[in-house]
Amino acid sequence: MARHGLALLGLVLVACGPAVVAPPVPDWRREVERLQAQAVLDDALGPPGQARLAFLLDFQADEPALADAADRAVGDPAALRAIAFRAVER
Protein backbone atom coordinates (compact mmCIF):
# COMPACT_ATOMS: atom_id res chain seq x y z
CA MET A 1 0.00 0.00 0.00
CA ALA A 2 2.86 2.37 0.80
CA ARG A 3 4.35 1.78 -2.63
CA HIS A 4 1.11 2.82 -4.28
CA GLY A 5 1.04 5.98 -2.17
CA LEU A 6 4.60 6.87 -3.13
CA ALA A 7 3.90 6.12 -6.79
CA LEU A 8 0.82 8.35 -6.69
CA LEU A 9 2.79 11.13 -5.01
CA GLY A 10 5.47 10.81 -7.70
CA LEU A 11 2.85 11.07 -10.45
CA VAL A 12 1.33 14.16 -8.85
CA LEU A 13 4.74 15.85 -8.57
CA VAL A 14 5.59 15.02 -12.18
CA ALA A 15 2.18 16.18 -13.43
CA CYS A 16 2.28 19.47 -11.53
CA GLY A 17 5.91 20.13 -12.37
CA PRO A 18 8.04 22.78 -10.72
CA ALA A 19 5.01 24.69 -9.43
CA VAL A 20 4.74 22.20 -6.57
CA VAL A 21 8.46 21.80 -5.93
CA ALA A 22 9.75 25.37 -6.28
CA PRO A 23 8.12 28.46 -4.79
CA PRO A 24 7.00 31.06 -7.33
CA VAL A 25 9.44 33.87 -8.06
CA PRO A 26 8.01 37.39 -7.91
CA ASP A 27 7.69 39.09 -11.29
CA TRP A 28 10.05 41.93 -10.35
CA ARG A 29 12.82 39.40 -9.68
CA ARG A 30 12.33 37.91 -13.13
CA GLU A 31 12.59 41.40 -14.60
CA VAL A 32 15.80 42.07 -12.64
CA GLU A 33 17.22 38.74 -13.84
CA ARG A 34 16.29 39.64 -17.43
CA LEU A 35 17.99 43.02 -17.09
CA GLN A 36 21.08 41.33 -15.62
CA ALA A 37 21.26 38.95 -18.56
CA GLN A 38 20.88 41.87 -20.95
CA ALA A 39 23.66 43.73 -19.13
CA VAL A 40 25.99 40.75 -19.34
CA LEU A 41 25.32 40.38 -23.06
CA ASP A 42 25.79 44.08 -23.75
CA ASP A 43 28.71 44.27 -21.29
CA ALA A 44 27.25 47.51 -19.93
CA LEU A 45 23.87 48.96 -19.14
CA GLY A 46 22.80 51.86 -21.32
CA PRO A 47 20.89 54.80 -19.84
CA PRO A 48 17.41 53.28 -20.52
CA GLY A 49 18.40 50.01 -18.84
CA GLN A 50 19.95 51.86 -15.91
CA ALA A 51 16.82 53.90 -15.33
CA ARG A 52 14.52 50.86 -15.51
CA LEU A 53 16.73 48.79 -13.21
CA ALA A 54 17.09 51.63 -10.70
CA PHE A 55 13.32 52.16 -10.68
CA LEU A 56 12.66 48.44 -10.17
CA LEU A 57 15.16 48.17 -7.34
CA ASP A 58 13.93 51.38 -5.72
CA PHE A 59 10.26 50.43 -6.00
CA GLN A 60 10.61 46.81 -4.90
CA ALA A 61 13.49 47.03 -2.42
CA ASP A 62 12.76 45.46 0.93
CA GLU A 63 15.37 47.50 2.72
CA PRO A 64 15.90 51.27 2.45
CA ALA A 65 19.69 50.86 2.09
CA LEU A 66 19.21 48.90 -1.14
CA ALA A 67 16.88 51.56 -2.54
CA ASP A 68 19.33 54.35 -1.63
CA ALA A 69 22.21 52.46 -3.22
CA ALA A 70 20.16 51.99 -6.41
CA ASP A 71 19.47 55.73 -6.57
CA ARG A 72 23.17 56.58 -6.20
CA ALA A 73 24.33 53.95 -8.71
CA VAL A 74 22.31 55.07 -11.76
CA GLY A 75 25.41 56.30 -13.59
CA ASP A 76 27.58 53.31 -12.66
CA PRO A 77 26.79 50.05 -14.53
CA ALA A 78 29.06 47.93 -12.31
CA ALA A 79 27.43 49.21 -9.12
CA LEU A 80 23.96 48.66 -10.57
CA ARG A 81 24.86 45.12 -11.55
CA ALA A 82 26.15 44.40 -8.02
CA ILE A 83 22.97 45.82 -6.47
CA ALA A 84 20.81 43.77 -8.83
CA PHE A 85 22.65 40.58 -7.87
CA ARG A 86 22.14 41.43 -4.18
CA ALA A 87 18.42 41.93 -4.77
CA VAL A 88 18.04 38.64 -6.62
CA GLU A 89 19.94 36.73 -3.93
CA ARG A 90 17.47 37.90 -1.24
- Whether residue 52 is contained in a domain is answered as yes
| Higher pLDDT pick, 14 / 32 | 32
Q: Is residue 2 over pLDDT 60?
A: no
Domain membership flag for residue 83? yes
Number of domains in the chain: 1
pTM above 0.75, yes or no: no
Asked, for residue 44, whether it belongs to a domain, the answer is yes
CB 81 within 8 A of CB 39: yes
**Is position 66 within any domain?**
yes
In a domain, 3, yes or no: no
User: With pLDDT > 70 as the criterion, what percentage of the chain qualifies?
Assistant: 17
Q: Which residue has the higher pLDDT, 84 or 17?
A: 84
Residue 16 counted as domain residue? no
Kindly report, residue by residue over 54-79, the tens digit of the pLDDT: 666 665 555 666 666 666 666 676 77
* Other residues' Cβ atoms within 10 Å of the Cβ of residue 60: 17
In tens, the pLDDT along 18-42 reads: 555 555 656 767 777 777 776 665 5
Find the domain containing 47 and state its range. 23-89
